[in-house]
Amino acid sequence: MKKSSKYLSTGVAMLVAAAMLFALVGTVSAKPIKIRFSHVVSPNTPKGQAADMFAKLANERLAGKVEVQVFPNSQLYTDGKVLDALSTGSVEMAAPSTSKFTSWVPQLQLFDLPFLFKNSEVLYQTMDGKVGQKMFKMLGKKNMLGLALWDNGFKQLSDNKHEIRTPSDLAGLKYRIMSSKVLEAQFKAVGANPLVMPFSEVYSALEQGVIDGQENTWSNIYSKKFYEVQKYITGTDHGYLGYLVVTNAQFWNHLPKDVRTELEAILKEVTAWIRINALKINMEQKALIVASGVTTVTDLTEAEKDAFREAFKPVHAEFRDVVGGDLIDAVYELNAKN
């Protein structure tokens, strides 16, 4: 009997050891879920810093479960091609500008309308309220899932011909734009000639005189060195530039629940961070542009901005039915309250 007990104990011990070894091997062999995050701007921009922050926090808090890699500066895809890459699983996350989604969610053109948002407070209330929630749901048409809206800031105008102080100063100038019907109408409203062009080609086009100017945030103008090939920059704050962080809905919904919950919490944290820091980054990099002495920087007065607001009013009216009069009116109401 004692001998049987001895064998039984030995057998149990061997089974326990085997189970532990199997569990250890299983743990070691389990590979972390790879998440490739593609974007087109430099790492030192608000979006670039937010993407890196998201990757750092995810890799720390979900070590062994996920591995986030960020690919900036169009290393993988341009904004024009990244949505197709998301749909085929060639990349897991991206943050294109809102204008890249307007072909199937035309309501997102709301964010392209010039001088629509009175200030950042109105902008954030729009994003976080019913308007933003409604637009996120519309992305499901293409199996896309909107995860967050990341802030960059308001755009400025630059050119190589002359200082811009009035709407008529833009007449005849060739301006690079993102693919957006609103932005096309914006420049045509003041007699300029808009030209759609990938972000990665803008510097060389400015340098070679293919285009006369471009519109962008201070951080993009600085990080991509556009100011080095532009004689004039005018601080207009005329339009908003934000990014929609998206993923493939099928990929995201099949993540383990604990992983998905933690990633969503991290995204919320990063979104709050970028809202506080985007303006700071832009102002710091504007100061660097001014200090360089390479280009002439002019800030419009409120009276001068009013002239631009008046010139761009027809654009709001033109896209009222396309974007939705209710959405535009909702922003007007927020402007009146703030």
188-199 pLDDT, tens digit per residue, is 999 999 999 999
Confidence of residue 12 (pLDDT cuts 50, 70, 90): very low
Q: pTM of the full predicted structure?
A: 0.83
Q: Give dist(CA 176, CA 96) in Å, integer.
A: 17
Range of the domain at 183: 31-337
Q: Give dist(CA 68, CA 300) in Å, integer.
A: 42
- The verdict on 186 and 331 lying in the same domain is yes
- The verdict on 20 and 53 lying in the same domain is no
Q: Give dist(CA 282, CA 263) in Å, integer.
A: 27
- The verdict on 46 and 17 lying in the same domain is no
- The verdict on 6 and 51 lying in the same domain is no
Number of domains the chain is built from: 2
- The verdict on 46 and 15 lying in the same domain is no
- The verdict on 185 and 120 lying in the same domain is yes
pLDDT in tens, 139-173: 877 778 999 999 999 999 999 999 999 999 999 99
Which tokens belong to 184?
């096309």
- The verdict on 24 and 79 lying in the same domain is no
pLDDT of residue 78: 82
pLDDT of residue 1: 47
3-state helix, strand, coil in the chain (%, to 5): 55, 15, 25
Considering the chain, what is the average pLDDT of its residues? 90
Q: Give dist(CA 113, CA 127) in Å, integer.
A: 15
pLDDT in tens, 233-274: 999 999 999 999 999 999 999 999 999 999 999 999 999 999
- The verdict on 21 and 125 lying in the same domain is no
- The verdict on 1 and 80 lying in the same domain is no
- The verdict on 91 and 170 lying in the same domain is yes
The residues, any chain, with a CB within 8 Å of residue 103's CB and separated by 6 or more, are none
- The verdict on 12 and 147 lying in the same domain is no
Total residue length of the chain: 338
Give the percent of the chain with pLDDT over 90. Answer: 75
- The verdict on 243 and 267 lying in the same domain is yes
